[in-house]
Amino acid sequence: MSKRSCVPWEKADSSGLTRGVNLLHDPLRNQGTSFNEKERDLLGLQGLLPPRVLSQDGQVLRILANYALKPNDLEKYIFLIDLEDRNETLFYRVIMENLSLMMPIIYTPTVGKACQQFGHIFRRPRGLFISAKHKGRIAEVLENWPQDDVRVIVVTDGERILGLGDLGAQGMGIPVGKISLYTACGGIQPATTLPITIDVGTDNVRLLNDPLYIGLPQCRMRGEPYDQLIEEFFTSVQARFPNALIQFEDFANVNAFRLLQKYRDRGCVFNDDIQGTAAVALAGLYSAMRITGGRLRDQTFLFQGAGEAGIGIADLIVTAMVAAGLSDEQARRRCWFFDTKGLVVRDRTHLADHKIPYAHPHPRMETLEDSIQALRPTGILGVSGTPGSFTRPILEKMSTLNKRPIVFALSNPTSKAECTAEEAYVWSQGRAIFASGSPFEPVVIDGNTLIPGQGNNAYIFPGVGLGAVLSRARHVTSEMFMAAARTLAGEVGQSELSHGQLYPPIDNIRSVSAAIAAAVFQVADTQGLSRKPLPDDPIAYVRRKMYVPKYKRYA
């Protein structure tokens, strides 16, 4: 296949260099006012830029000054995406140096609001939109992507965006955001990444009636036609980008589990909502054990919500408990679920397939509080998207049953959290070991500052993806996610644990990702799934391969 340009309209001269306006319109190569005088002569840029050459450091100062002037988080999101659209190197320099400030803007929780407003704030397309109209032509559509060496693909069909539900094609904000984190947090080269939305319609009536909605104005494709489209997509991607890791993102429960099962052994594939969420939650539980002094195998967990996140977490907990010496049956009996119909028990009818392994023999329970009283769990994990469901009586009951109750309110965005950090700490008299899906501010209880841990998947998937890419792993396995969880928990220092913090500071995330990537590379090698030899010093090798946002000098 011939070498492609970075943007479809790009033209190069006989030397192979992109020149003039075309270069300034290429976000991968544009350096804006940082092009020096010799480069401006060489590349036909004289007169197209203001005369003063500004260093990248100066450009960063300008971006931060303008960022601070934006009146709200959505405007900050729009500002950063516009920067990414015109100069990716500068975008990643700004993000990587200000991760704790800007991650909540380019991803949760602000990205949820951005997806809801996506059609109204739409400026320039990023990634690929593959729609039901492209059935039979997906390979042709993939040929339109200008880069050949794609290593990471994040794909959604937009049906379950965070806790916000069906946003159709407007869910593209999620793959775009995840791809940004792959580079900023995991060091994946931006030119090798590709966000994709598969638009099969939407059942969101508000969007169908919105004249500015960007997707197909039709109800969702279901059944066999949907499966045929996904199959065509998968086989076409493998043919076009044979070295690509495929991350399924924000598919609804009805499709997420079965698509993962169908494709996980046919390629380098994982589902972040199921497996990434599981790993970050398991890492939080490993850290919690360091606080309590307990063992994971001795815990009992009650999940509120029995969707892909909850089942994924439970499955990985079971894997970890089995590795610690329990039988599969013993481990599963330590994980219980409470859904919209009550406690998931064996004699309930019409259970979804993914719930059946956790439907244990037990009398029916209609309320979460009664279930806690009966089961006496050491930890409750909220993955339901039902805000405020961890009430004061529930948290007081958990505190009565446990000296240090584990309370994970993992639903995103912030508005969907089962409880706030302040509620968890205050209602437990400061004894709760708390983590959430979205960030919360520190809370002071009796003079002690408690720092809530954010169980952000960005701690996991960039490192897992980087390890899979560098090892050229044939598949992504549960053992890789378990290794990622152990590695992440190991990055938490004793000083952080003393403040109840279950995860390392977000500004350390590139170092965390490097350690996870090295661990994943080692698992791939052990399992015989790596197509690259394991380096003598895996972490040093990974760090050398991580992207650094520096301008290439042409002259």
Of the residues 107, 213, 286, 459, which is catalytic? 107
Neighbours of 335 (CB within 10 A): 24
Q: Are strands 379-382 and 301-304 parallel, antiparallel or unpaired?
A: parallel
- Give the max Cα distance, the chain: 79
- In sequence order, what are the residues at sequence separation of 6 or more whose Cβ sits closer than 8 angstroms to the Cβ of residue 497? 287, 290, 291
Of the residues 76, 113, 178, 397, which is catalytic? 178
Neighbours of 46 (CB within 10 A): 13
Q: Say whether 92 is catalytic.
A: no
Contact (CB, 8 A) for 99 and 506: yes
Q: What is the rounded distance in angstroms from the CA atom of residue 363 to the CA atom of residue 39?
A: 75
Question: What is the three-state SS of 310-360?
Answer: HHHHHHHHHHHHHHCCCCHHHHHCCEEEEECCEECECCCCCCCHHHHHHCE
Place of tokens 């965070």: 162
Q: What is the rounded distance in angstroms from the CA atom of residue 498 to the CA atom of residue 501?
A: 7
Q: Say whether 107 is catalytic.
A: yes
Pick from 206, 71, 66: nearest CA to 80: 66
Q: For residues 151-190, b (16+ Cβ closer than 10 Å) or e, as one string?
A: bbbbbbbbbbbbbbbbbbbbbbbbbbbbbbbbbbbbbbbb
Which of the residues are catalytic? 107, 178
